[in-house]
């Protein structure tokens, strides 16, 4: 019989839990609520919330809302321009920016002011990611965003990174890759101030998830297809255990992945709901 274990540290991070709780409490008394962008990068959870009345809205569609309507800012955060636009439209903002992201935004703005036109803000993160757009917006776009050391090297060799450097990371990035970014800049001998901005909960999950993956014959990683954190953690699991498979729901599971004697670990991204992890685990346990 297949033995299935759910990683106890997988599932929503604190910021996502807080945002979804606010949305659900609002929808207890209102028929609908507009979220600026998808509340969470997980299709199954978005479907569940949509049934309750949550509607994802694009930035260019904000003007469709009437003055006084509520607009939810998700955990990823937004740039100042979004708040100004919402104020101009007379919208009632429900701000669910994750406290960790909010502190990061404030830290970047403070560092930028201290640079006073000298040096460079460098952000290690996914280009175009909602959180990163919010971070870059704090400094009016005057920052260099890199996804890896190769991109950093390219910017450096083009002379686009001037000392002193204030280095930040998107909250959900891989701590080991961030260390590589730090080491590259350190090797250049430039004045560097490194900010420890990867979420502690995320950093701990990285360290422990590899051990979880190694401790099972098969890993089933549950994540939405658009989750940046999901892709990072999936690759972490696969590097620790080659028999790692990513699924969005039970529909993606292939019984051929398993042997009757296998120990199977089920885990997921910070945007994966616990109920979905449990649903996947139950399905696997029925496979003979």
Quick check: 28 pLDDT over 90?
yes
Q: Is it true that domain 14-98 has CATH number 3.40.50.11270?
A: yes
Q: Is the peptide bond before 164 cis (omega within 30 degrees of 0)?
A: yes
pTM for the predicted model, two decimal places: 0.89
Q: What residues contact residue 129 under an 8 Å CB cut-off, 6+ apart?
A: 76, 170, 228
Dihedral angle, C-alpha 184, 189, 190, 196, nearest 10 ° = 50
Residue 206 has a pLDDT of: 83
- Of 262, 260, 180, nearest to 220 by C-alpha is 262
Q: What residues contact residue 109 under an 8 Å CB cut-off, 6+ apart?
A: 138, 139
8 Å CB contact between 203 and 172: no
Q: Distance from CA of residue 120 to its chain's centroid?
A: 24
8 Å CB contact between 136 and 128: no
- CATH fold for the domain made of 100-198: Cobalt-precorrin-4 Transmethylase; domain 1 (3.40.1010)
pLDDT digits (tens, 9 = 90+) for 207-229: 899 999 999 999 999 999 888 88
Mean pLDDT of 163-184: 95
- CATH fold for the domain made of 3-11+201-285: Cobalt-precorrin-4 Transmethylase; domain 1 (3.40.1010)
Mean pLDDT of 279-283: 96
Which one of the listed residues 45, 78, 131, 147 is annotated catalytic? Answer: 131
Q: What's the CA gap between 127 and 263, in Å, rounded?
A: 37
Same fold, 3-11+201-285 and 100-198: yes
- Does 179 qualify as catalytic in the annotation? no
Domain positions in the chain: 3-11+201-285, 14-98, 100-198
The SS3 of residue 71 is: strand
Quick check: 45 pLDDT over 90?
yes
- Of 239, 115, 225, 220, nearest to 166 by C-alpha is 115
Mean pLDDT of 84-101: 97
């Amino acid at each position: 019989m297949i033995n299935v274990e759910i990683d106890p540290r997988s599932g929503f991070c604190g910021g996502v839990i807080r945002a979804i709780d606010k949305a659900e409490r609002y929808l207890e008394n209102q028929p609908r609520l507009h979220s600026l962008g998808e509340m969470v990068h997980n299709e199954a959870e978005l479907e569940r919330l949509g049934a309750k009345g949550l509607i994802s809205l694009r930035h260019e569609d904000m003007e469709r809302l009437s003055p006084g309507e509520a607009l939810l800012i998700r955990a990823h955060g937004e740039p100042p321009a979004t708040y100004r636009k919402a104020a101009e439209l007379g919208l009632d903002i429900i701000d669910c920016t994750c406290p960790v992201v909010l502190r990061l935004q404030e830290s970047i703005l403070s560092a930028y002011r201290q640079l006073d036109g000298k040096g460079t803000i460098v952000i290690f993160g996914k280009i175009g990611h909602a959180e990163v757009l919010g971070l870059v917006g704090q400094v009016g776009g005057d920052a260099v965003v890199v996804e890896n050391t190769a991109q950093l090297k390219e910017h450096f060799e083009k002379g686009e990174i001037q000392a002193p450097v204030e280095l930040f990371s998107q909250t959900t990035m891989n701590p080991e890759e961030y260390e590589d970014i730090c080491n590259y800049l350190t090797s250049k001998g430039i004045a560097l101030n490194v900010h420890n901005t990867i979420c502690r909960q995320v950093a701990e999950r990285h360290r422990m998830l590899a051990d979880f993956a190694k401790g099972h014959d098969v890993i089933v990683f549950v994540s939405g297809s658009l989750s940046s954190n999901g892709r990072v953690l999936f690759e972490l699991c696969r590097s620790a255990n080659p028999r790692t498979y990513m699924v969005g729901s039970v529909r993606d599971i292939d019984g051929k992945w398993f042997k009757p004697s296998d120990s199977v670990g089920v885990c997921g991204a910070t945007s994966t709901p616990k109920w979905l992890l449990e649903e996947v685990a139950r399905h696997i346990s029925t496979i003979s």
